[in-house]
Chain A
């Protein structure tokens, strides 16, 4: 099979229910050339734009040749035409399985019957989008494994290989420091390289969570990062549970850690464990965490019997800017979110019918392992400048209360009917990677910082206060990223982290060093009003 055709089928394997435009497929198959043509098209020079269009036409022609071959073979269909005559393609079946085999490759595409929900109308209008709906009944968005449940990295690796097919967004490994007692940095590096390959094959992000309080061998960890960090793809992320006191106590370690991440141009997340005990980790759809009650249940009961748990079930995102720009009202917004909650419950109902398939947690521990899962309603493009005009955070807070009430009512009704189920929905933010084609254009302004002083300006103080409130509303499931000005001294990072941990109620924040070398992308910045 031609490599391009295998790539096209791979896109459909990942999202079997999706209709792809030619541009979508060009972006998937030729990612570098696609970003080059995008760059050219945005240069305000006629010659560059002409060159961009020429490249675009060339890539479309090349791709369409192979797409048409797949259409001729009966694997794909033309679903329609969009915009200025751009074709939409879909799998040529409503549900079932296609197995495409060649000498060197075997691709299995499974397509579920479409999940029909009460938000499909809002989806048509462009206000709501489901995250990977093709896997809504079969996979979980986020799963967490507990390091100490495994003897060593080999056992963990075997377990993860079995779990990847059941995950649609992110797989987290909590208390990773457990492995650093016995493993050498070389073994750790080998493990991470394999992990990166598996994560890529399954198109899943991986979050490695380290509790610094329990970290015995600082040097092993630092050596591991020195050896491997620069080679790891961005879908492997790292988060450290810390406190302000710990940061002071282990100053030398953290300074070295920041230096390694800065030099590798990587992201690093610090979670304030004094403020938020459960892990917070990030997938492509957005952040995940536990409520305090769920974390307590997991820590005291689930962890006794299961080696991990489900954290996220399904996600959908609401584009706030688009909704309000198109004359949406606050009343309508509430109604839309309640419909979203109904939709998630309907899907849960269909998922229960398949519950005999134990998925990632077979055996007697399954019940406990599934007890912590939540669905997420995520939000895109909430403009801070608008918060004065309409009380967005208050609105989200009251919506959260309504949704929590709906969940409680559902649990009560089902329990009274002899069906003791768990159904929860959390609110959170959405990342651009949730669905780049769907979202309205990001409206945030960007700002970079270089020292503690920058954070003490009136604007940034105000901004951080808003983010504190939002973290509360989202019960910790949010992300705050800091980008740094060119030439920010490494020595400034430690006081900056200490300041953020001690002066603000922020459950977590991320230092993103990718922007420092001038590679700041459209999606990479700190948002301020």
Chain B
């Protein structure tokens, strides 16, 4: 597994994109789009206060509309589904199968009682609902693991597939929101955030956009 660690989201994001573009294998995905992809990419950021950097950079681009911080936070912290989304992370976390609040009823009480526990896991995939062969909408974030390390709340997230340019900035921001909530409840500071992307990819059609958002050097370096 390739691992990157950086202080901020921007640094980690740049390093990971460079890596995917230089080391990733090219292939055509299920939707017929050309990708660069690496398997099992681990990215750690040390400063969760930088979590919104990627989202803010993406929202500056006028070519598209990137989700707002409000909407991103809302869908991971809110258990009410509404009708606009095919699935909602918040619903899986706070009302799994309509009943289980995995954070307030499990993770937080567990870590309060047993700060060294390695069992503080939140599962988002619901095989009964999600694993249908015809469905193309399978959740990206599959599992979130909270631990208290060095007196801080660390989070590790397993992401099934991660569009590293378009999706990862949103994912890391969302995880930071959830981490903040757990840390507040435990009265501890936020620690590191690690994402493990089982399939980390960048679509070739986004190369021009990457230059716009992150600068020409990123793609140029990758090409060289």
Interface pair A415/B137, CB less than 8 Å apart: yes
Interface pair A367/B86, CB less than 8 Å apart: yes
User: A420: CB under 8 A from chain B?
Assistant: yes
Q: Which residues of B contact A351 (CB under 8 A)?
A: 84
Distance (whole angstroms) from the CB of B168 to the closest CB of chain A = 8
Q: How far is the CA of A73 from the CA of B12 in the complex (A)?
A: 61
Interface pair B65/A346, CB less than 8 Å apart: yes
Contact stretch, chosen from A159-167, A277-285, A353-361: A353-361
Chain A, residues 403-426, CB within 8 Å of chain B (1/0): the string is 000100110111111111100000
Chain B, residues 156-173, CB within 8 Å of chain A (1/0): the string is 000000110011001100
Q: Which residues of A contact B163 (CB under 8 A)?
A: 412, 416
Provide the main secondary structure of the chain B interface.
loop
Q: Which residues of B contact A415 (CB under 8 A)?
A: 137
Chain A, residues 22-48, CB within 8 Å of chain B (1/0): the string is 000000000000000000000000000
> 8 Å CB contacts to B: which residues of A234-272?
none
Q: How far is the CA of A367 from the CA of B137 in the complex (A)?
A: 14
Number of A-B contacts defined by CB within 8 Å: 78
Q: Which residues of B contact A409 (CB under 8 A)?
A: 64
Q: Which residues of B contact A353 (CB under 8 A)?
A: 70-71, 74
Q: Which residues of A contact B76 (CB under 8 A)?
A: 418
Interface pair B82/A352, CB less than 8 Å apart: yes
User: A481: CB under 8 A from chain B?
Assistant: no
Interface pair A418/B82, CB less than 8 Å apart: no
Distance (whole angstroms) from the CB of B119 to the closest CB of chain A = 25
**Which A residue's beta carbon lies closest to that of B65?**
A345
User: B68: CB under 8 A from chain A?
Assistant: yes
Interface pair A418/B83, CB less than 8 Å apart: no
Distance (whole angstroms) from the CB of A460 to the closest CB of chain B = 42
Interface pair A419/B83, CB less than 8 Å apart: no
User: Contacting B68 at CB < 8 Å: which of A349, A367, A416, A418?
Assistant: A349
Interface pair B82/A419, CB less than 8 Å apart: no
Q: How far is the CA of A415 from the CA of B83 in the complex (A)?
A: 15
User: B3: CB under 8 A from chain A?
Assistant: no
User: B141: CB under 8 A from chain A?
Assistant: yes
Provide the main secondary structure of the chain A interface.
helix
Q: Which residues of A contact B72 (CB under 8 A)?
A: 417-419
> 8 Å CB contacts to A: which residues of B43-78?
64-68, 70-72, 74-76
Contact status of A358 and B83, CB under 8 A, knowing A416-B166, A417-B167 = yes
Interface pair A420/B87, CB less than 8 Å apart: yes
> 8 Å CB contacts to B: which residues of A334-356?
342, 345-346, 349, 351-353, 355-356
Interface pair A419/B65, CB less than 8 Å apart: no
Q: Which residues of A contact B137 (CB under 8 A)?
A: 415, 420
| A351, A417, A419 interface centre (most CB from chain B within 10 Å) | A417
Interface pair B174/A418, CB less than 8 Å apart: yes
Q: How far is the CA of A346 from the CA of B140 in the complex (A)?
A: 24
User: B80: CB under 8 A from chain A?
Assistant: yes
Distance (whole angstroms) from the CB of B18 to the closest CB of chain A = 19
Distance (whole angstroms) from the CB of B184 to the closest CB of chain A = 22
Distance (whole angstroms) from the CB of A231 to the closest CB of chain B = 38
Contact status of A414 and B67, CB under 8 A, knowing A352-B82, A356-B82, A420-B137 = yes
Contact status of A370 and B66, CB under 8 A, knowing A417-B171, A418-B141 = no
Q: Which residues of A contact B80 (CB under 8 A)?
A: 356
> 8 Å CB contacts to A: which residues of B90-143?
137, 139-141
User: A195: CB under 8 A from chain B?
Assistant: no
User: Contacting B83 at CB < 8 Å: which of A366, A413, A420?
Assistant: A366
User: Contacting A419 at CB < 8 Å: which of B71, B81, B162?
Assistant: B71
Q: How far is the CA of A356 from the CA of B163 in the complex (A)?
A: 29
Q: Which residues of B contact A366 (CB under 8 A)?
A: 83
Q: How far is the CA of A230 from the CA of B109 in the complex (A)?
A: 71
The 4 closest A-B pairs by CB, nearest first: A416-B167, A355-B82, A417-B170, A416-B163
Beyond A352-B82, A358-B83, A416-B167, 18 additional pairs, beta carbon < 8 A: A345-B65, A351-B84, A355-B84, A356-B80, A367-B83, A370-B83, A409-B64, A410-B64, A410-B65, A413-B64, A413-B66, A416-B163, A416-B166, A417-B166, A418-B75, A418-B76, A418-B174, A420-B87
A-B pairs with beta carbons under 8 Å apart, 16 shown? A349-B65, A353-B71, A355-B83, A369-B83, A406-B64, A410-B65, A412-B163, A416-B162, A416-B167, A417-B66, A417-B166, A418-B76, A418-B89, A418-B174, A419-B170, A421-B85
